[in-house]
Amino acid sequence: MELPAEFTDRMRRLLGDEYNDFATALLSEPQTSLRLNPAKCNGRPDYQPVSWCRDAYYIETRPAFTFDPRLHGGVYYVQEASSMFLDYVLRRFVDTPVRYLDLCAAPGGKSTLALSALPAGSLVVCNEVVRNRTHILAENVIKWGYDNTIVTRNTAADFGKLHHYFDVILVDAPCSGEGMFRKDTQATTEWSPAQVGVCAERQREILSDVWDALRPGGLLIYSTCTYNREENEDMIRFLCDHFDATPLAAAPPAAWHIHPSLDKELPAYRFMPHYTRGEGLFMAIVRKPGNADECERDEWLQRAVRKNGKNRNKRPTAKGDTEVWRSWVSAPEKYVFDTDDESVTALPTSLVPDYDLFATRFDIVHRGIPVASRKGREWQAAPRTRLVDQPQYRSLRCVTPHDRRSHSLPAARNMADTHRYPARHAPRYLRRPPAGLVQSLGQPHQQPLPAGVAHTQRLPPRKSQPPRMVKI
């Protein structure tokens, strides 16, 4: 990898005597790490854990994840280790249900992490302004399997009009990407000092646009995957000088070897490849001044309920149809079912006012849990998902294509055999939120499992109609 000369000069000035160690680290192989889904996985693999994330692990080699049904079923998410520092930050600063916005969310790594880390009862809004990236984000959020989600396609300025609504906002800002040079060598050819300036200007604009959406006393978490001061410390200074924000210290353990801020009086956290097992990352937390009692959120929600509540489920639905898809949920009283002629979505009752608010003001790509879709005259489980009941888990033995050694990862008992059953045969139970979603992989001849994946147990073949509901 050939680094741009201007980049190396800037890093020499930034790091001083540490530069040689930094340059050597960039020549090493990048680390591969993954994060397990606690809603779908209760086991622990025999891998080294990522210190700052409760459910994350390093793996020695990088297998062919694309062919692993557990990845497509949301059992785990492949994510860069440094970016999972968000888990530590959320667990340290958030201990009650919140309205949370991930403003620049695609492809969904930090959004799915927040779904697992935030207290029950929280609402997680995942936004991406780029259209094709929005659909990738929605797919990953759906596979993760939580019902307290909304995926939107809007600008930061759109959210800024929703004054004082969010308790926590994450701005994982578009940046020059210096921290990804080791993983994406192509990025080195696109880097320039001019690009750094363009990114910094865009970041200031994004922060200014979304600031009004944060309630008084709320938290803004700012992160980038770059090293320079202009996109990192200078941005936190901007928030302090223009919006009177207060930086907060997360105080991670010294054993984690997280590099401190370049400004000693400014608490912020830098992940450097010669200090930590991961790529480059900058993260800082600031608090908005003011009292939480000044929040305008209740007014927004009351107006939304008055405007939208009367219009919900205006289209008549046959009683027989209703019984079909409601029977797939064991506790339908906990949900409001949003229906139209083609689909059914389950929305947690406690969050319905929030869903009503977003329906009137934002471009929604996904919300809640997809339950059913209509095919002809019949209802069937949503095409890409199955509703599952607090699945029991086991380990599948997966042989990596690199060294042919067997590795064990926790996986849902139904994941191994999902491919054997067509989507129309959906399990009939959904016991308690968060609802686990397992992607339907189709028939064996359509979606065979890759070589090297062995099942420790096979369910018996499905008998003739009516289908037998097998609790797995």
The pLDDT value given to residue 331: 73
The pLDDT value given to residue 430: 29
Q: Which sign does the torsion angle of CA 213, 217, 218, 223 carry?
A: positive
Q: Give the predicted TM-score (pTM) of the model.
A: 0.82
For residue 26, give the H/E element and its range: helix 19-26
225 is catalytic: yes
CA distances from 40 to 4, 73, 125, 435, 450 (A): 44, 9, 21, 9, 22
The pLDDT value given to residue 319: 56
Using CA atoms, how far apart are residues 400 and 67, in angstroms rounded to an integer? Answer: 11
Can you read off the two tokens belonging to residue 219? 């938290």
- Best CA proximity match to 176, nearest among 159, 154, 193: 193
Spans in the chain with pLDDT lower than 70:
294, 308-321, 330, 382-472
pLDDT tens digits along 122-140: 999 999 999 999 999 999 9
The pLDDT value given to residue 442: 29
The pLDDT value given to residue 317: 58
Using CA atoms, how far apart are residues 92 and 431, in angstroms rounded to an integer? Answer: 30
The pLDDT value given to residue 373: 82
Strand, helix or coil for residue 135? helix
Q: Which of 41, 199, 225, 398 is catalytic?
A: 225
Residues 6+ apart with CB under 8 A from 279: 30, 31, 80, 81, 82, 179, 180, 182, 183, 225, 271, 273
Q: Check: CATH 2.60.40.1760 for 5-12+82-293?
A: no
The pLDDT value given to residue 375: 80
pLDDT tens digits along 416-457: 333 322 233 223 222 333 333 333 332 222 223 233 333 323
The pLDDT value given to residue 305: 76
Residues 6+ apart with CB under 8 A from 229: 14, 262
Strand, helix or coil for residue 173? coil
Using CA atoms, how far apart are residues 453 and 130, in angstroms rounded to an integer? Answer: 36
